[in-house]
Amino acid sequence: MFTGSLVALVTPFADGEVDFETLRELVNFQINSGTDGLVPVGTTGESPTLTPEEHKEVIRTVVEETRHRVPVIAGAGANSTAEAIELASYAKAVGADATLQVTPYYNKPTQEGLYQHFAAIANEVDLPVVLYNIPGRCVVNIDPATIIRLAALENIVAVKEATGKLDQASEIAISTNLTLLSGDDSLTLPIASVGGKGVISVVANIVPNDVKAMTDAILEGDFATARKWHNKLFSLSNAMLNLATNPIPIKAAMAELKLCSEELRLPMVPLEDGAREKLRTALADYGLL
C-alpha cells in the first residue's frame, strides 16, 4: 500500500501562521501529478515548530483535502511516547491511513527503549506504522536487530531508511517483510537495488512527475529507465538536502517556482545568498527556470 513516490509535504506559512489554503493547493498539485501518497508533518513539514493544535490541524486538512484519493501517512512522532500515541490516535480519528513514527530525539533511548516506544504506539493505536530512522537528526540509530523485532508486530508495516547505510537497508530487506522506503532522494535507486519499494521524497515537492516516473520504473523492475531518472534527479536532489538544512532549500525552491512562500519559523532561517545562487543554478540546469 505504501510504495512508490510518497511526498514529504512542506507546511506553508503566511505571516507567521500556517497557510491552509496553500496547503490544500499543494495536496491537489501532488495528487494531480500522480504522487502515490502524502506524508505531512514530518521533518520537511517543520513539525518541531508547529504547536500541537497546528500539527493536528495540518493532518486533518491534508486528510480532508485528499479525500481518499491516495494514502496519507501522517507524521505523528515525538520524543514522548505518550505524545506520539496521542498524535497517532488523532490521525486515526480523522482518517489518516498510517502514521510516520520518527526515532525519539534528544532523550537518546537505548535499543530496548526504542523497541518499547514503537511497540507501545503500535499496540495502542490500530493504525499502520511507518518507522522513520534518521540518526543524523535524532542521534540514535534504530539498529537492524531492533527493527527485526518490531517487524513482528502486526501494525508495523514499513521503514523509512534515512541512515545512508546500504548494509542496514539490506539487512532489513533480507530479514523482514517490512516495506523498505528510502529517506534520501539521492539513494532511492541504490536502496531499490537491495529491495526498496520507493521513497518519502523531498524533491517531489517540486518535480513530482519525475520522482513518480523513477519509482514506477523501479516497481516495474526496469532499472535501466530508473537509472536514467536517477541521473537526471541526482544533482537537484542533492541541492535540496546539501545547500542548507532541510526544509530551507526546498522552501526556497518552491518560492522560486511560485508554489508557496519561502517563510520558515525560527530557528530555521532563509537560504543564504551564496547558496541561493547555487539553488537557482540547479533549478535552471534542471529546466525549471
- The one-letter amino acid at 80: S
Q: Are 278 and 239 in contact (CB under 8 A)?
A: yes
Q: Is 132 a catalytic residue?
A: yes
Catalytic one of 56, 92, 115, 160: 160
Q: Is 106 a catalytic residue?
A: no
Quote the CA–CA distance of 13 and 30 in Å, as a whole number. Answer: 18
Of 48, 56, 5, which is closest to residue 182 (Cα–Cα)? 5
What does the angle CA 271 – CA 79 – CA 237 come to, to the nearest 5 degrees?
35
Residue that is written with C-alpha cell 508554489 in the block:
259
SS3 assignment, position 130: strand
Quote the CA–CA distance of 165 and 168 in Å, as a whole number. Answer: 5
- The one-letter amino acid at 243: L
Q: What is the DSSP string of 73-129?
A: EEE---SSHHHHHHHHHHHHHHT-SEEEEEPP-SS---HHHHHHHHHHHHHHS-S-E
> DSSP secondary-structure letter at 66?
H
Catalytic one of 90, 92, 115, 132: 132
> DSSP secondary-structure letter at 72?
B
Cell of 167: 548494509
- Catalytic residue numbers? 132, 160
